[in-house]
Amino acid sequence: MRVTENGMATNYLTNMNQARQKIMDLQSQLASGKRVQKPSDDPIATGTIMRLQTALSQNAQYSANIDAGKGIADSTSGALGSLSDVLMSLKETVITSMNGSTVGSLSTNADSVDQFLSEAVDIANTSFNGKYIFGGTQTTEIPYTLSADGTTVTKNPKGVDGTISFPVGDGINQQVNITGEEAFQGTGIFDTMIQIRDAMKNGIPPTADQLNAVDQGLNHILECAGNAGLVSQGFDTMASNLAQQKTQLTEFLSTAQDADVAESSLQLQNDQTMLTAAIQVAAQSLPKTLLDFLR
């Protein structure tokens, strides 16, 4: 093959351009710390990266949902725990009153029951984060109202039975509230308390049926509090799963996206050495022709 100066020059330029291009790519990878900066750097990895980024932001969103849900579940179980304390005291009062109390002591005990009633209604109106937790989906309106004369407890006429769910995973919604309807059996628990109080005021000791009703109400509240506790525990498990998942996703993302600094630096050094060599060779060989020796 005939070799000409023009051919050598073109060859040299092409090679040098390629070397420079490589060095530029590596430099920008090292500067940004990212191997994939544009989709064309690696289309398949880009797909993976975008999927992982979506998964990570969903993960963060689910964590936030779980935090919010746990807040509601915890305050629900806390409120129901306090209510069970109130009902426990009620039960003791009822038992004391059943066992041959005087009319005078019945009246005093009736006052205690009245006190328990207003405490129970207060608990039913617990609000968390500005929302009534036992109001069902009517979170902005007070769920239970004790009439001024203390004779009736009425629930919000719009209902206290709406359930609220938060998304905790793809397509998975977890109910986070216990409705007033469920916890207090409509107004059942308050009605029982009113009946007992009114009877005792009139000097009639509580009946065994009434004690049963209190017992049953207490058990139900304990069960509901337990359920809320379970939901909260479930949230804890989910949160730690999500945290683990997040660590994994972040690791995958880093593998797909980040530049291997050590490898890239080494490669960069290598390419730079090659470029220097090419320039040196060109500087020495390109200008030489026969003319240099025809003096």
Partner 1 sequence: MSGLNGILNAAKRAMMAQQVGIAVTNHNVSNASTPGYSRQRVNFETAPDEKESFGYLGNGVNVGSIQRLNDTFINQQIWTTNYNLGQATQQGQILNQIQSSLNEPSDTGLGAMITNFFGSFQNLALNPEDSASRNAVVQNTTSMVETFNNLSSNLQQTKQDLTPEIKSRVDQINQLLQQIWQSDQNITTLQAGGLEANDAQDNRDNLIASLSNLTNIHVHQDNQGATSIDIGGTIVESASGYSTLSAADSGGQMQILAQGSPQPVDVNSGELGGILQMVNTTIPKYSGELDTLASTIIAKVNAVQSAGFGLGTPPPTGNDFFTGTDAGTIAINPAITTSANNIAASGDGSPGDNSVALSTAAIANDLSMGGGAETISQFYNGIVTDVGASVQSATNSQQSQNLVLTQLQNQQNSVSGVSTDEEMVNLIQFQKGFDSAAKVITTVNDMFESLLNMLTITG
Among 16, 36, 210, 244, binds partner 1 (CB under 8 A): 36
**Of residues 14 and 212, the one with the C-beta less far from partner 1:** 14
Stretch that binds partner 1, among 10-18, 180-188, 232-240, 258-266 (CB under 8 A): 10-18
**Of residues 104 and 171, the one with the C-beta less far from partner 1:** 171
Scan residues 68-97 and list those touching partner 1 (CB under 8 A): 68-69
DSSP letters spanning the chain: ----HHHHHHHHHHHHHHHHHHHHHHHHHHHHTBS-SSGGG-HHHHHHHHHHHHHHHHHHHHHHHHHHHHHHHHHHHHHHHHHHHHHHHHHHHHHHHHTT--HHHHHHHHHHHHHHHHHHHHHHT-EETTEETTSTT-TTS-SEEE-TTSS-EEE-TT-S----EEEEETTEEEE----HHHHTTTTHHHHHHHHHHHHHHTTPPPPHHHHHHHHHHHHHHHHHHHHHHHHHHHHHHHHHHHHHHHHHHHHHHHHHHB--HHHHHHHHHHHHHHHHHHHHHHHHHTT--GGGG--
**Of residues 50 and 95, the one with the C-beta less far from partner 1:** 50
**Of residues 141 and 215, the one with the C-beta less far from partner 1:** 141
Scan residues 188-247 and list those touching partner 1 (CB under 8 A): none
Q: How far is the CB of 132 from partner 1 (least distance, A)?
A: 8
Q: How far is the CB of 64 from partner 1 (least distance, A)?
A: 7
Is residue 129 at the binding interface for partner 1, with CB under 8 A as the rule?
yes
Quick note: the x/- pattern for partner 1 over 146-185, rule CB under 8 A, is: ------------xx--x-xxxx--xx-x------------
Is residue 19 at the binding interface for partner 1, with CB under 8 A as the rule?
no
Residue 132 phi, psi dihedral angles, 5° rounding: -75, 120
Is residue 6 at the binding interface for partner 1, with CB under 8 A as the rule?
yes
**Of residues 50 and 277, the one with the C-beta less far from partner 1:** 50
Q: How far is the CB of 190 from partner 1 (least distance, A)?
A: 22
End-to-end alpha carbon distance in the chain: 28
Among 28, 32, 54, 237, binds partner 1 (CB under 8 A): 54
Instruction: Please give the Cα distance from 29 to 267 (Å, whole number).
Output: 12
Residues that bind partner 1 (CB under 8 A): 1-7, 10-11, 14, 36, 38-44, 46-47, 49-51, 53-54, 57-58, 61, 64-65, 68-69, 129-131, 135-140, 158-159, 162, 164-167, 170-171, 173, 257, 289-291, 294
